[in-house]
Amino acid sequence: MQTTLVRSRFRPPQVSRRFIPVWRRNFLVWRKLALPSVLGNLADPMIYLFGLGFGIGMLVPEIGGVSYISFLAAGMVCSSTMNSASFEVLYSAFSRMHVQKTWDAIMNAPVDLDDIVFAELVWAASKALLSGVAILLVIAAFSLVDTRYVLWLLPLIFIIGVSFGALGLVMTALAPSYDFFMYYFTLFITPMTLVSGVFFPAEQLPAAVQFVASLLPLTHAVELARPLLLGKAPDDIVLHLGVLVAYGAAGFWIALGLTRRRLLG
């Protein structure tokens, strides 16, 4: 009986086009505060980019043949995308699910929980895309972008948003309160940011740490974004994309199963 129940909760996702109105509802709510939201998402990465880029850049003239601030720009695009998607599926989605009971209200309409969770994932990736594009425009204004491959960054940013949005939804399904999310940021997001090549080449790390970093999604995001920003084609594109897609697909499936258990019993 218990095994059957577990299988029922973790059955394959059944998503329909009914997720679109849920996505649109989130967009319309966000649109009322769009400008402060975008500026808020820009502030933190821009402080890091120009503070560290010009500060450390005075001590480290070049990395891999490019200026340190150009090297850092790709890392900021990826980490900002990660943070934007994570904050949306953690704090905002948790509010809609647990505090405001918005999900319960939506399920009174002919919309399944699968559609709601998928809509949250797509919305988080969409919002991350908006944040990523805003950062790209800023760094392009400072001539830190080679425009030859820059358009390929747009689908990449969306995929990164999906990957981290799915991982964040797992935490949302498990969280008893907002305080729970501090463990996720402290024990996962922050260490990953430090070892994934955002601020310095991962090759400088000990071999064991490099191996762990190679398993993390942010590493693969940076490995794709940095060459594209510098006007080069990335190496091992299939591998890096495969890892990001795998995290997104597995994370969504697990998050959906945990959410079914939490809300549907």
In a domain, 5, yes or no: no
What is the per-residue pLDDT for 7? 66
Calpha distance 84→82 (Å, rounded): 6
pLDDT at residue 204 is higher than 80: yes
pLDDT tens, residue by residue, 119-148: 999 999 999 998 888 888 888 887 888 778
In a domain, 3, yes or no: no
Query: By residue range, what is the domain housing residue 105?
Result: 17-264
pLDDT at residue 15 is higher than 50: yes
Calpha distance 217→197 (Å, rounded): 11
Average the pLDDT over 194-211 and give the result.
Answer: 90
Q: Which helix (H) or strand (E) segment is 191 a member of?
A: helix 190-195
Least confident of 2-11, 63-72, 160-169, 184-193: 2-11
- Residues 6 or more apart from 250 whose CB is under 8 A from it? 166
How many domains does the structure of the chain reveal? 1
In a domain, 127, yes or no: yes
Write down the mean pLDDT value for the chain. 89
pLDDT at residue 2 is higher than 60: no
pLDDT at residue 163 is higher than 90: yes
pLDDT at residue 40 is higher than 50: yes
- Please give the full DSSP string across 131-180, using - where no structure is assigned: HHHHHHHHHHHTT---TTSGGGHHHHHHHHHHHHHHHHHHHHHH-SSGGG
What is the per-residue pLDDT for 1? 47
Are 85 and 125 spatial neighbours (Cβ–Cβ below 8 Å)? yes
In a domain, 4, yes or no: no
Average the pLDDT over 65-81 and give the result.
Answer: 87
Dihedral over Cα of 91, 94, 100, 105: its sign: positive
Share of the chain above pLDDT 90, in %: 60
Least confident of 31-35, 86-90, 177-181: 31-35
In a domain, 223, yes or no: yes
What is the per-residue pLDDT for 3? 62
In a domain, 109, yes or no: yes
Which is more confidently placed, 238 or 46?
238
In a domain, 7, yes or no: no
In a domain, 76, yes or no: yes
What is the per-residue pLDDT for 31? 86
In the structure, what pLDDT confidence band is assigned to residue 63 with cuts at 50, 70 and 90? confident
What is the per-residue pLDDT for 97? 94
pLDDT at residue 91 is higher than 90: yes
